[in-house]
């Protein structure tokens, strides 16, 4: 048996292709992000942000100065910076990426009686806002190569009730945006880009976050750049922007009277401390993206030709930021994924399964048609069935990433040979 040692390196910050039967219930897979099966704490987190002294200094400045007449100074500066970086007319910072999607839905006047197409393979925050506004989510399958929607996967789902499509840049990958934009324009559909996982990705001179009528990012702690929590809504449409800005601030129009609300809205503002960190991180985006590519490069160099797994297959270098390094398991590892997760945890390595298909979640069990989509969306189920996400945060030392890759390599070879 291969000896796999517990990793105790200190953390530091730094400047089978068999789809799971679609009609079979998907059992939750234990993730190894807190403690191992022996009770020992895991050592290498799944997503360590890269925070440096310039980030800390910016937040410290906000703590000292961003009050009274200077309130929201840093969020306004961040909004201007991110709009310029992504070539958008308007940016509206929010308390989360899900809040940004909710505001986009409200701004587009999506509500009861409407249908919104969303990918079956994504985080629940991409689809929950559809339910919040009283509309019906329609779960579409994704392309096997990149996990994203395409015209082919959504065309047959459009009905007279379809009002919008939410396209997710899954795992930092970009779909065929030209085709999707042309299709939605032809059909008169609102197109919302969920670029939460794709900050820094680009294709043909356009960056993730610049597509669709509106686009959003999340800046949660596991994203490429972070503000701890937070998000942003971007658009080129002044009507969408004004509507979202009003609803973000308890129903007060951006140019309205102080303390005067014209309707009931939300409290979805980003704090100035978050804005300061987001702004500092945005300045370092190119370096952080480059580090993400280095992380994947280490995995690929160590794990090339290892039986039973492939690393981020099919993702094109020039249109992905490889948000989370993912091993796609093949037989015999795919049927022993839960065991592999536990053995990684025992070695001090965090991991987690690929996103559950939304159509398989109890949260959406009462959505009309959900059983039909669960049976039809083979690629979404296959990605979940075979995918295993690995530590890939830009703040994790590359020596630690190499250690993780070596542990996984040893385990994979051992388990295939058993």
Residues 214 and 315 in one domain: no
Residues 277 and 301 in one domain: no
Quote the CA–CA distance of 252 and 248 in Å, as a whole number: 8
Say what the alpha-carbon torsion angle 110, 114, 115, 116 is, to the nearest 10 degrees: -10
Residue 164's domain is classified under what CATH number? 3.40.640.10
Q: Where is average pLDDT lowest: 144-148, 179-183, 214-218?
A: 144-148
Q: Is residue 353 part of a domain?
A: yes
Q: Is residue 103 part of a domain?
A: yes
Residue 351's domain is classified under what CATH number? 3.90.1150.10
Residues 220 and 329 in one domain: no
Q: Is residue 1 part of a domain?
A: no
> What range does the domain containing 359 cover?
285-417
Listing from the earlier edge strand, what are the strands of the sheet with 309-311?
Answer: 309-311, 326-329, 387-389, 352-353
DSSP code at position 44: B
In the predicted model, is pLDDT for residue 23 greater than 60? Answer: no
Q: Is residue 368 part of a domain?
A: yes
Burial per residue of 157-185, b for 16 or more beta-carbon CB atoms within 10 angstroms, e otherwise? bbeeebbbbbbbbbbbbbbbbeebbebbe
Q: What pLDDT is recorded for position 30?
A: 47
Quote the CA–CA distance of 392 and 294 in Å, as a whole number: 10
Out of 225, 254, 283, a domain closes at: 283
Residues 261 and 299 in one domain: no
pLDDT exceeding 70 applies to what percent of the chain?
88
Residues 148 and 172 in one domain: yes
Residues 194 and 295 in one domain: no
Tokens of 250: 């308890």
Average pLDDT, integer, range 65-75: 94
Q: What pLDDT is recorded for position 25?
A: 52
Report how many domains make up the chain. Answer: 2
- Tens digit of pLDDT for each residue in 264-288? 999 999 999 999 999 999 999 999 9
Between 40 and 238, name the one with better pLDDT. 238
Out of 253, 283, 313, a domain closes at: 283
At residue 71 the predicted structure's pLDDT band, cuts being 50, 70 and 90, is very high
Average pLDDT, integer, range 307-331: 81
Tokens of 90: 């308007």
Tokens of 28: 């939750």
Residues 291 and 318 in one domain: yes
Average pLDDT, integer, range 100-128: 98
Average pLDDT, integer, range 136-150: 96
User: Contact, 345 vs 321, CB < 8 A?
Assistant: no
Q: Is residue 3 part of a domain?
A: no
Q: What pLDDT is recorded for position 320?
A: 81
Residues 345 and 301 in one domain: yes
At residue 40 the predicted structure's pLDDT band, cuts being 50, 70 and 90, is low
Out of 283, 311, 331, a domain closes at: 283
- Long-range contact pairs involving 235-241 (C-beta distance under 8 Å, separation at least 24): 235/88, 235/89, 235/90, 235/107, 236/88, 236/89, 236/90, 237/89, 237/90, 237/213, 238/89, 238/90, 239/107, 240/90, 240/104, 240/107, 240/108, 240/213, 240/214, 241/89, 241/90, 241/92, 241/107
Residues 325 and 211 in one domain: no
Quote the CA–CA distance of 226 and 248 in Å, as a whole number: 21
Pairing of strands 214-218, 206-207: unpaired
pLDDT exceeding 90 applies to what percent of the chain?
82
In the predicted model, is pLDDT for residue 350 greater than 50? Answer: yes
Q: Is residue 42 part of a domain?
A: no
At residue 418 the predicted structure's pLDDT band, cuts being 50, 70 and 90, is confident
In the predicted model, is pLDDT for residue 19 greater than 50? Answer: no
Quote the CA–CA distance of 268 and 250 in Å, as a whole number: 8
Average pLDDT, integer, range 147-166: 98
Whether the bond into 259 is cis, omega within 30 of 0: no
For 139, the 3-state DSSP assignment is strand
- Tens digit of pLDDT for each residue in 219-236? 999 999 999 999 999 999
Average pLDDT, integer, range 106-118: 98
Q: Is residue 25 part of a domain?
A: no
- Tens digit of pLDDT for each residue in 237-249? 999 999 999 999 9
Residues 236 and 88 in one domain: yes
Residues 354 and 255 in one domain: no
In the predicted model, is pLDDT for residue 98 greater than 70? Answer: yes
Average pLDDT, integer, range 61-80: 95
Q: Is residue 151 part of a domain?
A: yes
Say what the alpha-carbon torsion angle 51, 54, 56, 59 is, to the nearest 10 degrees: -120
Average pLDDT, integer, range 291-300: 93
Residues 90 and 191 in one domain: yes
In the predicted model, is pLDDT for residue 34 greater than 90? Answer: no
DSSP code at position 361: S
């Amino acid at each position: 048996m291969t000896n796999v040692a517990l990793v105790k390196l200190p953390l530091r910050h730094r400047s089978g292709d068999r789809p799971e039967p679609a009609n079979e219930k998907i059992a939750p897979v234990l993730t190894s992000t807190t403690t191992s099966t022996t009770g020992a704490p895991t050592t290498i987190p799944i997503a360590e942000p890269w925070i440096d002294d310039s980030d800390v200094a910016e937040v410290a400045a906000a703590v000292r100065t961003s009050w009274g007449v200077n309130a929201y100074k840093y969020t306004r500066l961040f909004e201007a910076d991110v709009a310029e970086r992504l070539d958008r007319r308007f940016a509206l910072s929010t308390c989360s990426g899900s809040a940004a999607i909710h505001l986009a839905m409200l701004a587009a006047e999506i509500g009861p009686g409407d249908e919104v197409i969303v990918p079956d393979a994504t985080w629940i925050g991409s689809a929950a806002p559809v339910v919040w506004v009283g509309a019906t989510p329609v779960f579409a399958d994704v392309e096997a190569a990149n996990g994203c929607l395409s015209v082919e996967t959504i065309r047959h789902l459009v009905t007279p009730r379809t009002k919008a499509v939410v396209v997710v840049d899954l795992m930092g990958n970009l779909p065929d945006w030209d085709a999707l934009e042309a299709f939605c324009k032809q059909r008169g559909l609102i197109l919302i880009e969920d670029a939460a996982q794709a900050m820094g990705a680009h294709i043909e001179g356009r960056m993730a976050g610049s597509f669709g009528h509106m686009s959003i990012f999340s800046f949660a702690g596991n994203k490429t750049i972070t503000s701890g929590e937070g998000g942003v809504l971007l658009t080129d449409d002044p009507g969408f922007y004004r509507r979202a800005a009003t609803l973000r601030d308890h129903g007060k129009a951006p140019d309205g009277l102080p303390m005067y609300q014209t309707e009931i809205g939300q409290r979805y503002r980003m704090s100035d401390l978050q804005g300061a960190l987001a702004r500092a991180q945005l300045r370092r985006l190119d370096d952080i993206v480059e580090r993400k590519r280095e992380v994947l490069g280490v995995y690929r160099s160590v794990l090339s030709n290892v039986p039973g797994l492939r690393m981020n297959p099919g993702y094109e270098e020039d249109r992905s930021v490889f948000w989370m390094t993912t091993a796609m398991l093949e037989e015999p590892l795919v049927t022993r994924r839960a065991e592999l997760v536990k053995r990684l945890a025992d070695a001090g390595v965090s991991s987690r399964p690929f996103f559950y298909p939304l159509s398989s979640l109890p949260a959406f069990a009462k959505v009309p048609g959900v059983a039909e989509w669960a049976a039809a969306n083979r690629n979404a189920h296959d990605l979940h069935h075979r995918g295993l996400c690995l530590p890939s945060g830009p703040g994790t030392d590359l020596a630690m990433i190499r250690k993780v890759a070596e542990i996984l390599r040893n385990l994979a070879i051992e388990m295939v040979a058993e």
